[in-house]
Amino acid sequence: MTSDMPFDLTVRNGRISTDTETFEADIGIKDGVIVAIEKNLSPGREDIDAAGRWVLPGGIDSHVHVEQLSGMGVMCADDFHSATVSAVFGGTTTIIPFAAQHRGMKIPEVIADYAKLAREKAVIDYGFHLILANPDETALTVDLPEAIRNGITSLKVYMTYDKLKLDDYQLLDVLELADREGALVMLHAENHDMIRWLAQRLIERGLKAPKFHGVAHDPLAETEATFRAVSLSRLLDVPVLIVHVAGQETVKVIRDARALGAQVHAESCPQYLFLTADDLDQPGLEGAKFCCSPPPRDGASQEAVWEGLKDGTLGVFSSDHAPYRFDKTGKLPKGEQTGFKDMANGVPGIELRMPLLFSEGVMTGRISIEQFVALTSTNHARMYGLAPKKGTIAIGADADLALWNPARETTVTWSMLHDNVGYTPYEGRTLRGWPEVVLSRGRVVVKDNTLNAERGSGRYVPRGKPEPMQRKAAGTSQGALSAWTKGMTA
């Protein structure tokens, strides 16, 4: 690339960070792709001065629920337009929501339905994970291999919820399939019967306020299920990713497993850094705004999650945006009579995920800017088969960029956000640093607090093989599955 070649756009004078380094340079963009990174580039057709700004890869939020029916049959408040608009105002340029199978639904139809919704409305790029509720013969031998070939290279499965839960035998079937086809299995790890048993006892005693959600979802339910998920993964030597890690013991289980060489990856989310069980304990039903599963814990768990993010135990930081309104359509289906078992599980966070971590992680010195990039973007790209086009600033990568102003202070209030939820769990917090300009494939999508993107201008990104599965394919297997397979073929 010579510096006199014309660019559609340049981003000049910024301080650029990737997951490994920080340097000052200009970025030249053509046809939506980064084509030059050097000082003193010749002007483009349009130029953005990024002096005093951090120029970072656009965020990838690999855990969001959009226009999705929950396991309890509740529809999300955000569609693919509001969710992607909200995402991009918060510095995120790619999302991976779920195409959710419920029992009785055919996988190809589920995928086609979500694909249509997103195609018509998304303003930034997106892929899909599949939520798998019925791993029957057709799913395992026909539908999933086809979905994986079409770029849906990750599956979420649940160890709890009556309508979604798989038993251990089924989980092993799914791990075997994922290993064969090169997909990553994401696990919602909570012990179903512990939660069910505790919830039943609480309700029998008339204890149904939101705070009892946190009591029913005891930390041990998460820890036990995570240990079991790790054991299933180790048994077959197949990578897994534990989503939404909340508790300190769970972090320890994952760290110990990784130290033993287990291929266990994990995610955490803003609600486990910035909320606690105390937030659920409020007058009336207000605490419902903070109910998610697993629920936020205590200060010690917050510390453990910070440590896990810093030492790599928790490799991806996602929002788990699960948008439900504080009314009959979401959190309060029975109005004032709603108990914790009736309400939709989840909190919004798609827009504030990155500003919260930037402010409380980078600006306080808890994590480096490179760790921030890794946790919010690069690691997601690698984990879910989007690298090297997404998640970094490099020649040949998509020009998905966010220009952060570290000097800007913002006091959060829901009315400044772009989702349809009607509240934010982070109301009133003052954050330092904000992504003021956001580019998606070279388009200036956010500038001057204004959106400039057509509905449907986001693109579906078929994903390649997740890095854990690439490493697995290249390595030597040690679990029972490979030993058995070797025995059969020797």
Nearer to Zn ion, 55 or 95 (CB): 95
Nearer to ligand DUC, 28 or 219 (CB): 219
Which of ligand DUC, Zn ion, none does 345 bind, CB closer than 5 to 8 A by kind?
Answer: ligand DUC
Q: Which does 92 bind (CB under 5 to 8 A by kind): Zn ion, ligand DUC, none?
A: none
CB nearer Zn ion, residue 146 or residue 167: 167
Select the residue interacting with Zn ion from 81, 129, 188, 265 (CB under 5 A).
188
Report the interface residues with ligand DUC, using CB under 6 A: 188, 243-244, 292-293, 320, 322, 345-346
* Min CB(339)–ligand DUC separation in Å: 17
Please choose, from the candidates 212, 230, 213, 92, the residue with its C-alpha nearest in 3D space to the C-alpha of residue 159. 230
Whichever of 346 and 479 has its CB closer to ligand DUC, that residue is 346
- Residues belonging to the chain: 490
Provide the β-strand partners of residue 27. 11, 37
Query: Could you say which of Zn ion, ligand DUC, none residue 443 binds, taking C-beta under 5 to 8 angstroms by partner kind?
Result: none
129: contact with Zn ion by CB under 5 A: no
Q: What is the total count of residues that contact Zn ion (CB under 5 A)?
A: 2
Q: From the list ligand DUC, Zn ion, none, which binds 177 (C-beta under 5 to 8 Å, kind-based)?
A: none
* Residue linked to tokens 């299933």: 232
Out of Zn ion, ligand DUC, none, what residue 248 binds, judged by CB under 5 to 8 A for its kind, is none
Closest CB 156 distance from ligand DUC, rounded Å: 7
Q: String of b and e for 130-145 (b: at least 16 CB within 10 Å)?
A: bbbbbbeeebbeebbb
What letters, b where the CB count within 10 A reaches 16 and e where it falls short, cover 446-475?
beeeeeebeeebbbebebbbbbbbeebeee
What CA–CA distance (Å, rounded) separates 345 from 70? 8
Query: Are the C-beta atoms of residues 12 and 24 closer than 8 Å to each other?
Result: no
Residue 94 interacts, among ligand DUC, Zn ion, none and using kind-specific CB cut-offs from 5 to 8 Å, with none
- Taking alpha carbons only, the member of 185, 174, 163, 182 closest to residue 72 is 163
Report the alpha-carbon distance of residue 479 to residue 471 in Å, rounded.
15
CB closer to ligand DUC out of 292 and 357: 292
Which amino acid is it at 101?
Q
- What is the Cα–Cα distance from 248 to 40, expressed in whole angstroms? 48
- C-beta closer to ligand DUC: residue 65 or 389: 65
217 scored as a contact of Zn ion (CB under 5 A)? no
Beta strands 22-30 and 7-17, pairing class: antiparallel
Per CB under 5 A, the list member of 181, 267, 320, 419 interacting with Zn ion is: 320
For Zn ion, give the closer residue by CB, 9 or 95: 95
Site residues (vs Zn ion, CB under 5 A): 188, 320
